[in-house]
A and B are shown apart, each in its own frame.
With several copies, the nearest count.
Chain A
């Protein structure tokens, strides 16, 4: 009885299934500062409302400074890897606006769960950039204290941290720090992840748990178009921010190279979470200008003119133009930032080289809060073994 073609064309019925991922969706790509440095309006999001001219100027200069220093951290670390001081480095070149916009929208009580690339967010959360190098140098697995900075350790297993973030947000709900209306008290969580990570089961389960419990978490996806060698099209045929609609919470795509827009959108999403209105997915549309990591060779899988095209959208250049054209910053300011960056670079170079290797015996430390007899014996056995070489090895 089955006949070919029976039934309507569902594609027609349901509307086109696939849209090019460059499509910016119903909301359009939220942008407040064009690549040319022009301020533009957006119906739903704005930057600087309620700020005086000076306050606004100061904040934008702050963004410029943050992005410049963040880029310097990245450049120095990349160089340190080239010189063998780091084993590997995950570059953020091109993603400065996405990270500073997201990072500056945070309040001290907000907690961040990063991937391995959130150097700019770490900087905003007050993590000493020098500490970021330890993991990549191989002397530790993250030297900062998550409790001090409300900034978790880097997570290397793709997507895993989005569930931790959701659970942490559920804890905030139980602590009564959501929706009280007290700005000093209400808190939220940001879960960072990439476009490739959006395919992991864990990330989608995080969406489900967050929606189910209406948890105060902002899922911040830096869509830098690439998961190592795989383009975004392998992960999704529609704009990533629309994934949220399938889970029952809002999604928005913002120009991730526009620090003003990223700041405005992230802050709105965070406020929504703090107010008890639940999760939001923010897709920061940007581009990975560098290699995936210093061990990667992008020439094997992508064309350089893509990169050239995105160079024109540089997140820092547009802010510099804006500041200069509108006389919001003078040369002294730019010189000062440049000098500060040089100092930072110097400090990172010296500090990195000075980082000591851990003691071999330290591998037995902190495996548990309460050490086991088994491990104590293994530790002692190894110590005795090492001593047997004194002299021999020296």
Chain B
């Protein structure tokens, strides 16, 4: 790794982060479908099998439960498996192994056999794909005790967070906004010290409304803040980054100042992260709230055909609309 800064995409940043983690710790293994020669369908593991060999970058048979289940065994043997689920919609065959095994080994063994393991999931929509390729399954994992769930939203976080997740002693569901993989480049400076993994971050200061987002919707929230400022409205934007545990302190601090909050995610609104965040804000900031927390998310419909996905996904207009509604409340 060089410490000279360079401009990279999220895909490249994750690739660099994985490479760094593998260089730093020989116990780190990558496993998944097509992660080897192909470098993954999104090329996140590009070149890593060539660099670290087939024993450390493992192309697996086509079976997600098998991937996660065997990764558990490797973790028990002292390895740190980083598994790639090819698309969000294909994590479900592994769901049983994740919620009944990965999440429970540490508790079941009273701490004797923790499972340090990372499950990388490209998530979210907006890439014009077919069914099962644009899901947002985070709430289901966040609801499960024993799992930690994080989502990166930009190249710099991607580079650091993947390394922190791999270094963490507990299982981490690592969500990558696939729509952002090749979208924007950011300056990467290897010499800075990153924020802790399980912390949310205020990414734009503001005073009228607090807008909460994570993963792909952070960009949307920032655009909304930009547009709002043009209309004289000052939005504070917080990138949650960690979905379980939630780091609510900065959120409470912000809402106590603004009195208004909007949360946006691509997942279905019903029982999405917004529900929990809304409930917690209301419990903690009841007397500071000028309006109920508003939720802008994917509708409670299956993810629609791609030609209308942009209508399904929360966008700048829908976030602005919620901002106006909370201000007019």
Contacts and interface: CB of A to CB of B under 8 A. Distances in A.
Given A205-B65, A208-B63, A382 B299 contact: yes
Interface in A154-175: 156-158, 160, 162-175
Contact of B96 (A143, A157, A368, A374): A157
A141 interface: yes
Nearest to A364: B301
A160 B101 contact: yes
Contacts of B41: 228, 295-296
A330 interface: no
Task: In the A-B complex, list the 4 residue pairs whose CB atoms are closest, starting with the nearest.
Answer: A167-B73, A163-B69, A171-B77, A167-B70
Interface size for chain A: under 10, 10 to 19, 20 to 34, or 35 or more residues?
35 or more
A44 interface: no
Contacts of B245: 372-375
B130 to A, nearest CB: 6
A200 B146 contact: no
B299 A364 contact: yes
B60 interface: yes
Contacts of B96: 157, 160, 202
Best-buried of A164, A301, A382 by chain B (most CB within 10 Å): A164
Contact of A230 (B62, B89, B106, B168): B62
B306 interface: yes
Interface stretch (B203-211, B215-223, B252-260, B310-318): B310-318
Contacts of B317: 389
A363 B299 CA distance: 9
Interface stretch (B12-20, B32-40, B153-161, B178-186): B32-40
Best-buried of A152, A212, A358, A369 by chain B (most CB within 10 Å): A369
Interface in B290-308: 299-302, 304-308
B55 interface: yes
B321 interface: yes
Interface string B73-111: 111111101000000011011001100110000111111
Interface of A: 87-88, 116, 135-143, 145-147, 152-153, 156-158, 160, 162-175, 196-197, 199-202, 205-206, 208-209, 212, 227-230, 234-235, 295-296, 300-301, 357-360, 362-370, 372-375, 378, 382, 385, 388-389
B69 A160 contact: yes
A363 B308 contact: yes
Contact of A202 (B65, B74, B78, B304): B65
B61 A205 contact: yes
Contacts of A174: 29, 55, 74, 77, 79
A146 B113 CA distance: 8
Given A140-B305, A169-B73, A228 B38 contact: yes
B317 to A, nearest CB: 7
5 contacts: A138-B307, A174-B74, A201-B63, A373-B245, A378-B300
A173 B132 CA distance: 32
Contact of A145 (B66, B92, B112): B112
A171 B132 CA distance: 28
B194 to A, nearest CB: 17
A92 B113 CA distance: 27
Contacts of B106: 366-369
Nearest to A135: B130
A138 B73 contact: no
B62 A199 contact: yes
A164 B113 CA distance: 13
B277 interface: no
A164 B101 contact: yes
Contacts of A200: 62-63, 93
A168 B170 contact: no
Interface residues of B, number: 79
A300 B38 contact: yes
B62 A212 contact: no
A323 to B, nearest CB: 37
B66 A160 contact: no
Contact of B109 (A137, A153, A373): A153
Nearest to A155: B101
Contact of B308 (A212, A358, A373): A358
B118 to A, nearest CB: 14
A295 B309 CA distance: 20
Given A167-B81, A234-B61, A360-B311, 12 more contacts: A87-B306, A156-B130, A156-B132, A157-B96, A157-B132, A158-B90, A171-B76, A199-B63, A362-B304, A367-B302, A368-B106, A368-B148
A367 B107 contact: yes
A201 B311 CA distance: 36
A164 B37 contact: no
Contacts of B76: 146, 152, 164, 167-168, 171
A165 B128 CA distance: 29
Best-buried of B59, B77, B302, B304 by chain A (most CB within 10 Å): B77
A228 B148 contact: no
B71 interface: yes
A205 B66 contact: yes
Contacts of B79: 171, 174
B69 A205 contact: yes
B279 interface: no
A367 B104 CA distance: 8
B169 interface: yes
Contacts of A145: 109, 112
B214 interface: no
A162 B33 CA distance: 20
B131 to A, nearest CB: 5
Contact of A366 (B77, B97, B107): B107
B261 interface: no
Contact of A208 (B39, B61, B107, B109): B61
B271 interface: no
A138 B111 CA distance: 18
Best-buried of A152, A165, A372 by chain B (most CB within 10 Å): A372
Interface string B39-58: 10100000000000001000
B274 interface: no
